[in-house]
């Protein structure tokens, strides 16, 4: 029997083109400048490659290594991890961009949890995850819109 939970954020509109926002989202070298939930990330963006993350969950920071499982430019970036074995806890984090117009898009985040521990993780950490993912969206919006305005002003 599979037990599944989902932690997600609302869609936020970002007033910058989807390709521009994708470039900000995948510029992991600069995460520390705008991403309070994951201030450090390293990956080569090849499917199956490690994604090394420094994550802040509430007052705690920890390092975690996940595996890149989706890179669909400019719409989906995802990584996953087994905690123990997949029946115990398997987590997939998806970050979605969707076009709204030529100059705007939406962003939202979904964490899919499965396995016997998923209800407990959702119960005890879901609030931290939701806030952290919301902070990522807010930071991405501020960063992408500011950089896009700078780019437009230089023209």
Distance separating alpha carbons of residues 105 and 15, to the nearest angstrom: 7
Taking the C-alpha atoms of residue 100 and residue 132, their distance in angstroms, rounded to an integer, is 24
The DSSP letter of residue 84 is S
- pTM of the full structure: 0.93
Give the pLDDT mean for 71-99.
95
Instruction: Check whether 79 has a pLDDT greater than 50.
Output: yes
What is the percent of the chain with per-residue pLDDT over 70, rounded to a whole number? Answer: 98
- Residue 1, pLDDT above cutoff 70: no
Domain hosting 148: range is 4-154
Q: What is the mean pLDDT of the chain?
A: 94
Q: In this predicted structure, what is the pLDDT of residue 2?
A: 64
Maximum average pLDDT range among 46-60, 92-106, 119-133: 92-106
Token digits of residue 121: 């993780």
Average pLDDT over residues 119-141: 93
Rg (CA), the chain: 16
Tens digit of each residue's pLDDT (9 = 90 or more) over 7-62:
889 999 999 999 999 999 999 999 999 999 999 999 999 999 999 999 998 788 99
Kindly report the CATH number assigned to the domain that includes residue 73.
Answer: 3.30.530.20
| pLDDT higher than threshold 80 for residue 123 | yes
User: What's the structural domain count of the chain?
Assistant: 1
54's CB contacts (< 8 A; 6+ apart) are 38, 39, 40, 41, 61, 62, 63
């Amino acid at each position: 029997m599979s037990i599944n939970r989902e932690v997600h954020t609302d869609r936020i509109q970002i007033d910058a083109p989807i390709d521009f926002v994708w470039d900000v989202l995948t510029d992991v070298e600069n995460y520390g400048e705008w991403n309070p939930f994951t201030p450090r990330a390293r990956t080569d963006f090849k499917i199956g490659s490690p994604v090394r993350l420094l994550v802040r969950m509430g007052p705690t920071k920890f390092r975690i290594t996940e595996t890149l499982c989706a890179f669909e430019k400019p719409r989906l970036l995802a990584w996953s991890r087994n905690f123990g074995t997949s029946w115990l806890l398997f987590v997939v984090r998806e970050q979605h961009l969707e076009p709204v117009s030529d100059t705007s898009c939406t962003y939202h985040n979904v964490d899919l949890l499965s396995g016997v521990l998923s209800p407990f993780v959702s119960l005890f950490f879901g609030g931290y995850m939701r806030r952290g993912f919301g902070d990522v969206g807010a930071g991405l919006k501020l960063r992408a819109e500011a950089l896009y305005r700078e780019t437009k002003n230089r023209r």
